[in-house]
Structure 1
Amino acid sequence: MTSSETLGNKRIQKTFLAVAFRTVRIIPVFALPALLVCCAPADQVNMMERKINSLSVENRSLVNQLNALKLDIATLKKETREEGKQSISSIRSRQAELASRMDEIQAELLRLNGLIEQINYERGREKETALHSSQAIQSEIKKLREEVRLLQASTKVSRKVEQARKKAASGKLDLYQQALDLIKARKYKQAKKVLRAYIDRHPSGDRLPNAYFWLGECEYNLKHYEEAILEYLKVIDKFPKSNKVPDAMLKQGLAFIKLGDNVSAEIILQKIVDKYPKSFQARVAKKQLERLR
């Protein structure tokens, strides 16, 4: 018997006890009229009859209540049985659900255990691989550090070389610029000394053709035309691809004119016209040739 059925039986027993108690109160009512008529005075008889009528009404009401209680008891028994069945069915369904869930949980645990074992195995392999990789990386780091050290040493040397080169270049520019400044100031003798110092210090400098040309200019302005012709000739012979060659040829021709050697002057000026026909130097050479002819 389930707990629900036991509870229903207890409720039924309580209901029957209450009905029995009321029934005991009802039974003496049927004997009261004869008893009261024989023993009571007339005025009391009327009062008794009223009470009897009232009790009769109450009795019928109690009978109706008793019938209603019987119906309620029958209904309660039915509901109790159905409730018990429903409770048992619900419990069994819940137990089935729990059992199914337990099976699912156990299966999930087995799967997770398998994954954990696999992960541990792979972790061991990865750990071993990581160890080898770490050793290889450390070896590479040592090599890189050594390369960095060598590069730093090389950089220091390169920096010193670059500083020396810049210093040398600065010296070149200083001497060359000093010479130009002196020429602008028409201090040709001093400019000659500076230019020769520049040429001696930098015999393969980039500005060497210009230095020889300006050296010729100093001689020309000092009216040392023969020396000027020789300096211009150095530009023409040593640096034939220099942009100073047309200027050197023109000034060489003018120097020959100053010396009165018009034949040599015409030869050089004609070369300028033939070799550089569209240049500024060619236009000046043509004018000089017209004057000479």
Structure 2
Amino acid sequence: MWRLKPSGSPVGFLCFTYDGSVKVMMRYLVMLMAVVFLSGCVPIWTGSTMQDDIAALKAEQARQNETLEEKQKELSAMVESARNDVASLNQMTKEATELLARNNADFGLELEQVRQELQRLVGKMEETDFNLQRLQSDLRMFKEDVDIRFADGGGTPLPEKADELYKFAQDKFKNRDFRAARKALESFAVKHARDSRMADVVFMMGETYFEEGEWVSAVFEYQKVFKNYPRSSKAGDAVFRIGESYVQLKKCQEAQLFYESVVSDYPKSTYVSQARERLSKMKGGQCP
């Protein structure tokens, strides 16, 4: 009969020896095929091919690993370069921001200086305009006074004593003879400059101009009151009347400052309540 035994033949793992009938041989052949297929045994040449493929795969994996390492190194270098670029950009941005801030500060300072100079020039212009209007008013009134004096032969003689001269001025003012009242007040200021009623005299002088609509001249006189006689009871009244004069000159913004000064600095003034009313209207958008 045939017997199954190992063989050193290069063409297979197993070989058969005859040891009986064909039927027995076939039985052993079927068993051999089953063992081969079920056990996973493969021919020698197939195993060699698989080893070559595995070796090739390992070599390819090694090359891929080397490529991956190179790519990682390149990527790391790119990341480091990007970080350096970002750091440089941040530094440049910081320097640019600091420079811009310095430039803005310098520009802001220059702009503030220009604004202050402009305000100074505007104030100077307004002051010049006031002086011009005052000069025009004085010239006009001087001409009218000269005409009056020539008409009545030089005018009525004024009293000499302080009390009489002051009463004379008051009477003329009440009768709305503002020019005569003003002449008496001017005479009083020259002859009795140390009199305790000087604040009232100057204030009344401003009132004569105010009643005649000579707003600029009135402002000049009222200013003398709170500048030269700040502790007088007329100081707050004069500030209020300056506000009123500015309103008549259509300068409500300036007038508001004087009304506010009356309320805050001269609470005992007889015009405090009126100053508050004016301010209330102004806050409502009205120019009284």
Range of TM-score over shorter length = 0.3 to 0.5
TM-score (norm 1): 0.41
Which structure has the higher relative contact order (CA within 8 Å, separation 6+)? 1
- Greater radius of gyration (CA): 1
TM-score (norm 2): 0.42
